[in-house]
Amino acid sequence: MNRQTDARNSALLAIVLLVALFFALTIAADAALRGARLDLTQNRLFTLSAGTRSILAGLEEPVHLTLFFSESAARGRPSIQAYGKRVRELLGEYRRRARGRITIEILDPVPFSAAEDRARREGVAGIPIDEGAEFFLGLVGTNSTDGREVLRFLDPAQERLLEYDLTRLIHKLSNPRRPVAGLISSLALEGMPPAPGMPPELGRPWRIVEEMRQQFELRMIGADAAELPADLDLLVILHPKRLPEPLLRAIDRFVLSGKAAVIAVDPLCEMDIPPEAAQNPMAAMTADRSSDLRGLLGAWGVTLEPGKVAADLDNAMRGRSPDGREVLPYLQYIALREDALSADDPVSGGLGSVQMATVGALRHDPSKGAAWTPLVRSSARASLLDASRLAFMADPRQIAAQFIPGQEPLTLVGRLSGPARSAFDDGPAEGKVNLIVFADADMFHDRWWIQEARLGNLLLGYQKLSDNADLLINAMDNLAGSSDLISVRARGAFSRPFTLVERIRREAEQRYLSEADALEAKRREAEQRLAELQRARPDDATMILTPEQRAEVDKFRAELAATNDQLRQVRFNLNRDVETLGRTLKIVNTALAPALVALGALALTGYRGARRRADRRSIAGHG
């Protein structure tokens, strides 16, 4: 009996010692490994990129960050809570990497609080949620020289760009000098004198120039210049027509030196209007309105398809026909949505729409060495038209009727980076280019991205039509940053979709759409038959149906009712497979998993009982 008591006491003592050892090891590990991180996610989503780590290591002055997060309002909203936690944890990682140069303050702007008032003063956006309350998730950064940057709202839908946005804010606070950008263009960006017959909007300064001046120190460089200013951080070239060789050589040297450039070429620039066009409209139609900078771009690794305009059947803008009688697709005018813009690049990620006019297509030559990343692409049902055909007011009906869709998307905007050689034999032997190339210059004219709101002659403000200006400013802002900032790209997807569920849903939707198409075909066929019967009537009693018409109508109604029953059944089945899978997962989560744990516990209990019985028999044998 004493032996059994001693064994029981020894077991209890061992358990106590193990528990104490566990807590001791936990406390020691927390102290010794406080900054250690282990990221086992695909693509290392929770590991700061090398560019961010370099920027944080190079901070020379303190940066204070204030995060406004409505934690109270986020309760009961798991996705928002998880994203708020993600933002806090990422900021904590920034603080650890900055070696004390970053301090963080987190405020919960509950309604009617001082924190809410401060969030509004700082420019943080409040998003309306239930019961009239507002949700805040924004960041304000300041430096020691009164510099200030604000991220008004950290959109959970743009989580892939979260690291880039935070790193960019810190980089701008640590480098408060405004970048110097040079602008070269063959277009009248600053306006032109009014001429008889010219629409007033064509003579006004382009609003995009003012947008550039708000973000950069802008230097206007004449198209006949022989040299570039020495202090440029960035070069912007819009529609470069017949630039002189000295300027081409200067651009070549600038780009190959590693400095960045944004270049917009155009196969048919509608805003390139000759001065005499107001008096002679044929002058604009017959003039060469193209630009390609082929000598330079071709040497670096990208070319504009010569004399070709991209037409897109899926993204064509619609407008009135020349006679005003109907609405038709204008294939040469393209309205691109979010799915056409690369979500993986900070230049295009997060934008919603881009409009382009008589845009060209860009081709990459990988043999030149530089890497090519498409940022904006057409749909797969796009192909190229002769620019000369569109210069003479082509009939949109004829273009649409004769259009043959392609099978692959066309690249309309892209990023070129990496090694390249000079376009001139006596130029730099080689260098490293860092470019973003647009195949359209018209898109930056006011008519394609902004609209004036006027009351008579009073300008009330502007209404944005597209994200064209944001795309250009994003490109300039990204390229004007340090090489470390440019290297920070959008991260992979943080949410892992249920691919099986999505596949089941797509297959069900495809079946539903097939049924819907069949219904539409039957409806059109019946309507056509009814029209034929109506035309075949010998009398004028158009309101009275013949027996043939009544039979056809009854047949159509029967077919329509049967097809509607089928559609209702398909709608019922649309989510059946998904719901079945969901019920199975619920059973696994609520019943099977606990059952397995219970079985494991029973097995462990049985094993321990057998061990105890064996120990007793052994003790009895020795006694």
Quick: pLDDT tens for 419-439.
999 999 888 878 999 999 999
* Residue 351 is assigned to a structural domain of this protein: no
Do 110 and 124 fall within a single domain? yes
Q: Does any domain span residue 1?
A: yes
Helix (H, G, I), strand (E, B) or coil at 369: coil
Residues 187 and 299 in one domain: yes
Joined tokens for residue 32: 């010794």
Asked if residue 187 and residue 164 are part of one domain, the reply reads: no
Please state, in angstroms and as integers, the Cα–Cα distance from residue 259 to each residue in 181, 367, 384, 487, following that order.
Answer: 11, 22, 33, 14
Secondary structure of residue 59 in the 3-state scheme: coil
Q: Which residues contact 420 (CB under 8 A, 6 or more apart)?
A: 255, 256, 299, 300, 301, 368, 369, 370, 430, 431, 432, 433
Give the sign of the dihedral formed by CA 310, CA 314, CA 315, CA 317: positive
**Can you tell me the mean pLDDT for 187-216?**
80
What's the rounded mean pLDDT across residues 567-592?
Answer: 61
Q: Is 514 a residue whose pLDDT tops 60?
A: no
Residue 412 forms part of a structural domain: yes
Q: Is there a single domain that holds both residue 469 and residue 556? A: no
* H or E, element range at 413: strand 411-420
- The rounded distance, in Å, linking the Cα atoms of 382 and 310 is 7
From CA 268, how far away is CA 265, in angstroms rounded?
Answer: 9
DSSP conformation class of 61: S
Residues 89 and 159 in one domain: yes
My answer on whether 250 and 213 are in the same domain is yes
Contact 545, 553 (CB under 8 A): yes
Residue that finishes a domain, picked among 487, 510, 530: 487
**Tally of domains in the chain:** 4
Beta bridge partners of 463: 451
- The yes-or-no verdict on residue 454 having pLDDT over 90 is no
0.75 exceeded by pTM: no
Q: Nearest to residue 494, comparing CAs of 34, 79, 12?
A: 79
H or E element at residue 611: helix 593-622
Question: Is position 395 within any domain?
Answer: no
Give which of 159, 153, 35, 149 is closest to 86, Cα–Cα: 159
Residue 619 within a domain: no
Cβ burial of 69 (10 Å; 0-12, 13-18, 19+) is: buried
* Cross-sheet strand order for the sheet of 353-357: 316-320, 327-337, 353-357
DSSP code per residue over 521-578 = HHHHHHHHHHHHHHHT-SSS-TTS--HHHHHHHHHHHHHHHHHHHHHHHHHHHHTHHH
Residue with tokens 């200013």: 229
438 located within any domain: yes
Q: How many CA atoms are closer than 13 Å to the CA of 425, on its beta-carbon side?
A: 0
> What local confidence, expressed as pLDDT, does residue 570 receive?
58
Task: Kindly report the number of other CB atoms within 10 A of residue 395's CB atom.
Answer: 11
Q: Greater confidence, 147 or 410?
A: 410
Identify how many contiguous H helices and E strands the chain contains and give both numbers: 19, 21
Structure tokens at 554: 């009854």
Identify whether 125 is part of a domain: yes
**Distance from C-alpha of 70 to C-alpha of 113, rounded to nearest angstrom:** 12
Establish how many alpha carbons lie within 13 A of residue 457's alpha carbon, considering only the half-sphere containing its beta carbon. 0
Mean pLDDT (the chain, rounded):
81
Write down the residue that tokens 């000369």 correspond to.
388
Examine the pLDDT at 29 and tell me if it is beyond 90. no
- Are residue 168 and residue 184 in the same domain, yes or no? no
Cβ–Cβ under 8 Å, residues 367 and 303 = no
CATH number at residue 114: 3.40.30.10
Strand partners, 170: none
Task: Give every CB contact of residue 106 below 8 A, 6+ residues apart in sequence.
Answer: 66, 67, 69, 88
- What pLDDT is recorded for position 50? 86
Cβ–Cβ < 8 Å for 552, 530:
yes
Selected residue with higher pLDDT from 348 and 483: 348
Q: Is the pLDDT of residue 105 over 90?
A: yes
**What are the C-alpha distances in Å from 489 to residues 98, 113, 163, 351, 467?**
20, 37, 8, 15, 20
Q: Is residue 59 part of a domain?
A: yes
CB neighbour burial string for 29-45, b if at least 16 within 10 angstroms, e if fewer = eeeeeeeeeeeeeeeee
- The DSSP symbol for 590 reads I
Confidence band, pLDDT 50/70/90 cuts, at residue 252? very high
In a shared domain, residues 248 and 368: yes
Of 425, 458, 487, the residue that ends a domain is: 487
Residue 279: CB atoms within 10 A of its CB come to: 11
366 and 249 in a single domain? The answer is yes
Q: Is the pLDDT of residue 230 over 60?
A: yes
* Percentage with pLDDT > 70 across the chain: 67
State the Cα–Cα distance between residues 225 and 245, nearest whole angstrom: 10
The whole-angstrom separation of Cα 234 and Cα 212 is 12
Q: 280 and 188, same structural domain? A: yes
pLDDT of residue 453: 73
Q: How far apart are CA 340 and CA 410, in angstroms?
A: 10
Q: Reduced to 3 states, what is the DSSP secondary structure of residue 433?
A: strand
- Report the alpha-carbon distance of residue 578 to residue 507 in Å, rounded: 11
- Same domain for 283 and 420, yes or no, is yes
Neighbours of 520 (CB within 10 A): 11
- Structural domain for 512, as ranges: 502-574
Q: Which residues pair with 453 in a beta bridge?
A: 461
CA distance 118 to 120: 5
- Phi and psi, residue 368, nearest 5°: -75, -15
**DSSP conformational letter for 272:** -
25 and 68 assigned to the same domain: no
* Cα separation, 117 vs 120, whole angstroms: 5
The span from the first CA to the last CA of the chain, in angstroms, equals 11
Q: Residue 359: its pLDDT value, please?
A: 97
Which residue, of 439, 464, 487, is where some domain finishes? Answer: 487
Higher confidence at residue 320 or residue 137? 137
Residue 317 identity (one-letter amino acid)? M
Give the pLDDT band of residue 541 (cuts 50, 70, 90). Answer: very low
